[in-house]
Structure 1
Amino acid sequence: MASTYSFDVVSDFEWQEIVNALDQTEREVKSRYDLKDTKTTLELAKDAITVNTDSEFTLDAVCTILQTKAAKRQLSLKIFDYGKIESVGGNRVQQVISLRRGISSELAKDITKLIRAEFKKVQGSIQGDTVRVSAKSKDDLQAVMQRLKAEDWQVDLQFTNYR
């Protein structure tokens, strides 16, 4: 009997790396001369980061620092979903940056459609916020991985549970 091989396509990030990147961002904001007196706060929730500062210019600088720190920690910038900039009391602004985790159902459908169209011997199935890809040949699975990496998706994709 021929065995089948599979892997999962997921979109996830290491939580501790987000915590570390946020901590480094806070330290740099407190130590930088141009940002020291802005009373900028960064709050990490389960699925979002809230940045509260004194102006849009400062907010842009803080977001740039956050992106730099995240990139140095091998976090994809595609996990950040920037919300609208809101004015809060006392001439301050606030922005909620949502953290993307998981593959949306529309994206999962697009991935399985691409697999069906280009790889006849490979099956893709949607399982919640992951896509399970299976085939009889490991070479076919490697080809699917290379093809998915070549595409520019709106989220960062990882491949797990390779069996």
Structure 2
Amino acid sequence: MPSFDIVSEVDKHQLNNAVDQVNRTVANRFDFKGVDAEVEMNEFSLVARAEADIQVDQMVDMLRASLIKCSIDPLAMEVGDKEQSGKQVKVAITMKNGLDKELAKKIVKIIKDEKLKVQAAIQGDQVRVTGKKRDDLQQVIAMLKGKELEQPLQFNNFRD
């Protein structure tokens, strides 16, 4: 029976490239000369720090643009609140990696509401969709691409 998996993954190597690109841009920009500012990466959590609010905002915008260039959907980026600590302003940024239970349940409900002849099952941090016809699975993919969800989706492991 044909099947595929719905996942939400961030390529760690491309994320690392995007962070490096932002740090190089910050080092070369005139308005950041002499300013202690950088984006630090630890797994899928990032911290942007600089000396002023506006600089942190600019760095977040640079990161968003850099993610787009590295083929990562900026919807995967969740920006926290700004924190003032000493003369530094920090903002925590988390990258959504994997489907959480709530979103997986929402995806399964959307698929079931369409009344297509497919079955959707939650398997850890992904959703497996199986059906008898390949066309039904392709309809599910097209329908989910049209929906506005709070996280980017990828469709992997398509088997016939």
Category of TM-score, reference length = shorter chain:
over 0.9
**Deviation at 1:75?**
0.8
**Deviation at 1:105?**
0.7
**Deviation at 1:47?**
2.1
Structure number with the higher strand fraction is 2
2:58 corresponds to which of 57, 61, 69: 61
Q: Which residue is 1:30 aligned to?
A: 27
Segments ≥4 residues shifted beyond 6 Å? none
The runs of 5 or more residues in structure 1 that have no matched partner are none
**Deviation at 1:28?**
0.5
In the alignment, the residues of structure 2 paired with residue 32 and residue 85 of structure 1 have an alpha-carbon distance, to the nearest angstrom, of 22
Conserved 8 A contact 1:119-1:144: no
**Structure-2-length-normalised TM-score:** 0.97
2:115 corresponds to which of 119, 125, 132: 119
**Deviation at 1:62?**
0.8
Q: Does 1:159 align with 2:158?
A: no
In the alignment, the residues of structure 2 paired with residue 142 and residue 22 of structure 1 have an alpha-carbon distance, to the nearest angstrom, of 35
Q: Give me the identity figure in percent.
A: 35
**Deviation at 1:14?**
1.1
Q: Give the alignment's Cα RMSD to 1 decimal.
A: 0.8
Letter of the structure 2 residue corresponding to residue 29 of structure 1: V
**Deviation at 1:120?**
3.4
The runs of 5 or more residues in structure 2 that have no matched partner are none
